[in-house]
Every structure is written in structure tokens, then in C-alpha cells.
Amino acid sequence: MNAAALFGLCAAALVGVGVYGFIVNPQPLRKILAFNVVGSGVFLLFGAIARRGGALGWGGDPVPQALLITGIVVAFAATALAVTLLLRLADEADSVTLASDAPAPAGPDAARDA
Amino acid sequence: MIDALNAGIALLVLGLAIWTIVAPDTFAAIVGYVAYGLLLTLAWVALRGVDVALTEAAIGGGLTGVLLLRAAAKLRRTEAASNAERPGLPTRLAAAIVAGGVAVALAIVVLAPAGPAPTLVPEVAANIAATGVGNPITAVLLAFRAIDTLLEAIVLLFALIGVWSLAPDRVWGGRPGPRYRADPDGILAYLARLLPPIGIIVGIYIFWIGADLPGGKFQGATILAAMWLLAMMAGLADAPPVSRRRLRVALVAGPAVFIAVGAAGVATAGAFLAYPEGLAKPLILVIEWALLPSLALTLGLIMAGAPERPEDR
């Protein structure tokens, strides 16, 4: 098996592992982490495609590889924004639950909704 | 031999990915994620994507890992309550079926006998000489697909604006993060004095060599940002107040120069972000030198987080 197929399969498994963790883990921070595992799996899959596109003695297709660099940086930006949102939520609400039946925070809105 | 090595890397990567999902302790899971990012770097080298490997090591494993670790430390008190909401067996089973289905579908696509792989190598090879740079990735990032790189730099800026706008009203315009205090004779302060001179040279080297060999401004800027963060965490430097005008000008300068060069292309070469013949290399250098400090500042400040204290504290 060549490297492109091997890491392509590895990437498929990574996406699966990440999706499972994203659904099952109740902690928002762990969901962000799982989302990053999904992302890196997608990147690796694209990398395997770039490797298959190698020609003329070049190891890989530079166009997808350049897009991957852009993708990794944008994924970092999204993660940083998500983490900061989460930290602000923890500051304000003292809990970071995503459960739909969580006790509503005390406030004028909560009183009206109840 | 190489096949066995690659298979070993793939298995380790997969094992660590599973660890980051199942580890009961969030801190342990994130440490696993950092190791996962570093091992993924080896996978990128095996796929002949050394530029991507550098980015993954610096940003995917490094910066993201530090970001998550710090968040995990702050959220530790909420962990037990969140864990009590773990879904029951039916949900977990359904999730496993969905995740397994996605993985199998992707695996089928990977293994499906495909025709000749689509590739843009011949086009890049035919036109790279016109850009004057030797590294095809840099040629794609700054000439053939320069619009992606411009938008990427702007996305980073937007992310920073998003992070800042999460500051509570009373500290708006203040300094991000806590004021770190470390033992001035301790190992952290020692490393924060010892490493930055080396790190700054390595960062600028990786940036400069990117024209012809693997490297580039994003990887270099990440190393520079990491050195700045190290000095901040050791208490040797303080994060600047985000309302400071000079700081904001420095953040916007890189993308602004990029846009200006792009707009000049309309007049001189007939299209936005087109370079006049023979001037491609100097213009690419201008853009890269303008972007490097802006990117390093943006990455460092995204890591530092939302403003948490007024300017004078």
C-alpha cells in the first residue's frame, strides 16, 4: 500500500473518531477538541489527494498543499474564537452546559420566558 | 521498511486521536492532542508536504494545543458538572453508527480505483519561473492563489476582532489576559530570556527561506508569536492595551499593503493581485515583509485572548 492510500485510510478513520467524539462528549471544550480532530482528518485526506497528484518529479501537487496551509491557519482562528466564547460563557454563567433542560440563568429574560 | 514506518505512524496517530476522545481527564486529552499534532507532522512529511508539516507543527499542534490547555485549566471547575450529562447508550450507539458510516464512506472513496489523479503540477511548473520564487507552495500562496492568502490574513484579523469583542464592557480597550508573574530567578524566566533571541532568528530564517525551500510567513510568524507569548507568560513583557492606536495600525498594515499591491495590479497588469512582468518577486517580497509583523502580532494577540483588565493594571 502506498503512502497516499495508507494515510487516506488513516484520515477517514480520524474523521470518524472525531465525529463520534463531537456527538458523544458533553463538554464544550472536548467538542472543540473533537472538531479539531475531524478537521485534521479532512486536511490529511486532502493531503493524500495532493500526494496522488504529484507529477514531473514533484512529490505532491502544490496547489492543494498551499490551500491546506490556509486551511490550518483558518481552523486555528475558528478554534481560538470558539475557545474565547466558551471562556466568556464560563465567566458569565459559571457553567458551560449545552443541555437543553439546563436551569435558566436568573435575569429579566429568564423570568419572562418562564 | 518505509512502509512499516508509515504504518506505525498511522497507527500511533489513530491511537492518539482515540485517546483525545476517550480520555476521562480533559487535560490529559489535550496533552494527547499536542502529541497527535506532532506525529501528524511526520505523516505530512511522508506525504511530501513539508510546508504543511511545518504549519501543522507550529499552528495545528503548537498554538492550538497551548490555547486548549489554558482553556482547560480555566474550565476545570465546570468539568465534573458537564461530565454528568454524558449521553446514554442509545445515543452513543447512534453516534458510533453515524461516525462509522462517515469513516467507511471516506475509506471507500480513498480505495476506489480512480483514473489518473487530477493535478495542477504541470501548470505550476510551467508558470513558476514568471514569479521568481523557487518554492512552488509560495508561488501558489502569493501569486497563483494570492486572493486566498489575502482573505486568510483578513480572517485572522476578524478572529482577533471577534476575540476582543468578547471582553466585558468594563475592561473594553484594556489589556488581554492576566498579568503573569513568575519567579524572576525561576526556570520559566530563564527560558524566556534564553530562547527568544534563538527563536526570533529561527522564525525569520523560516520566513526568509520560504521563497525557495519549505517555510514561509505563517510558520515564521507563529514562531515569533510563540516567543512573544513566552516572554508574556514569564512576566517579562506585558500584553499591550488593545485600544492603542499604534498596535492597531501595525495589525492592519500587512493586509493593507497586500490590498494596495493588489489594487496597483489593476492599473499596471490588468487585474487585481496581478503583478507586472519582471516585478513579481520584488512585489511578493514587499507583501511578505509587510505581512510577517502583522501576522505575528495577530497570532500572539489571538492567543492572549480577550481583554481582562483595565489599561493601568
Given the DSSP bridges, would you call strands B175-176 and B307-309 parallel, antiparallel or unpaired?
A: antiparallel
Contacts for A109 with CB less than 8 Å, ≥ 6 apart: none
Categorize the per-residue pLDDT at B258 as very low, low, confident or very high, splitting at 50, 70 and 90: confident
Q: Which of B74, B98, B106, B141 to mutate to test the interface with A (most CBs of A within 10 A)?
A: B106
Does the beta carbon of B79 lie under 8 angstroms from any beta carbon of chain A? yes
Owner of C-alpha cell 489594487: B263
With beta carbons under 8 A apart, name residues in chain B contacting A68.
Answer: 49, 52, 55
**Residue of B114, B145, B156 lying closest to A73 (CB–CB):** B156
Please answer yes or no on whether B21 and A18 come within 8 Å at the CB atom. Answer: yes
Of A46-60, A88-102, B199-213, where does the model show the most confidence?
B199-213
Please answer yes or no on whether B166 and A85 come within 8 Å at the CB atom. Answer: yes
**Mean pLDDT of chain B, nearest integer:** 84
Contact assessment for residue B47 and residue A43, using Cβ atoms and an 8 Å cutoff = no
pLDDT of residue B116: 75
pLDDT digits (tens, 9 = 90+) for B28-54: 899 999 999 989 999 888 888 888 888
Categorize the per-residue pLDDT at A102 as very low, low, confident or very high, splitting at 50, 70 and 90: low
Contacts for B227 with CB less than 8 Å, ≥ 6 apart: B195, B196, B199, B200, B203
Query: What is the distance in angstroms between the Cα of A111 and the nearest Cα belonging to chain B?
Result: 23
Owner of C-alpha cell 486532502: A46
Q: Report whether pLDDT(A13) > 90.
A: yes
Instruction: Show the domains of chain A with their CATH numbers.
Output: 3-93 (1.10.287.3510)
> DSSP letter at A2?
-
Q: HSE of B167 in the Cβ direction (CA atoms, 13 Å)?
A: 25
Least confident range of A53-67, A94-108, B262-276? A94-108
Q: List the domain boundaries for chain B.
A: 1-77, 122-313
Question: In 3D, which of B110, B53, B123, B10 has the Cα closest to residue A61?
Answer: B123
Does the beta carbon of B126 lie under 8 angstroms from any beta carbon of chain A? no
pLDDT of residue A101: 60
3-state class percentages of chain A: helix first, strand second, coil last, to nearest 5: 75, 0, 25
**Mean pLDDT of chain A, nearest integer:** 81
DSSP string, B183-233: -TTSHHHHHHHHHHHHHHHHHHHHHHHTTTSS--HHHHHHHHHHHHHHHHH
DSSP three-state, residue A114: coil
Please answer yes or no on whether A61 and B119 come within 8 Å at the CB atom. Answer: yes
pLDDT of residue A106: 47
One-letter amino acid at B233 equals M
Contact assessment for residue B68 and residue A33, using Cβ atoms and an 8 Å cutoff = yes
pLDDT of residue A34: 92
With beta carbons under 8 A apart, name residues in chain A contacting B91.
Answer: 23-24
CA separation for the pair B141, B252 (Å, rounded): 19
Least confident range of A59-68, B13-22, B269-278? B269-278
Does the beta carbon of B104 lie under 8 angstroms from any beta carbon of chain A? yes
Contact assessment for residue A5 and residue B110, using Cβ atoms and an 8 Å cutoff = yes
Please answer yes or no on whether A34 and B141 come within 8 Å at the CB atom. Answer: no
DSSP string, chain B: -HHHHHHHHHHHHHHHHHHHHH-SSHHHHHHHHHHHHHHHHHHHHHTT-HHHHHHIIIIIIIIHHHHHHHHHHHHHHHHHHHHTT---HHHHHHHHHHHHHHHHHHHHHHHS--SSPP--HHHHHHHHHHHT-S-HHHHIIIIITHHHHHHHHHHHHHHHHHHHTTS-GGGTTSEES------TTSHHHHHHHHHHHHHHHHHHHHHHHTTTSS--HHHHHHHHHHHHHHHHHTTSS-PPPTT-HHHHHHHHHHHHHHHHHHHHHHHHTSSTT---TT-HHHHHHHHHHHHHHHHHHHHHHHHH-SEEE-TT-
Contact assessment for residue A79 and residue B159, using Cβ atoms and an 8 Å cutoff = no
Q: In the predicted model, what is the mean pLDDT of residues A90-97?
A: 76
DSSP three-state, residue A76: helix
| Residue A76 exposed, middle or buried by CB count within 10 Å (0-12, 13-18, 19+) | buried
Contact assessment for residue B8 and residue B50, using Cβ atoms and an 8 Å cutoff = no
- The cell numbers describing B125, all together, are 511548473
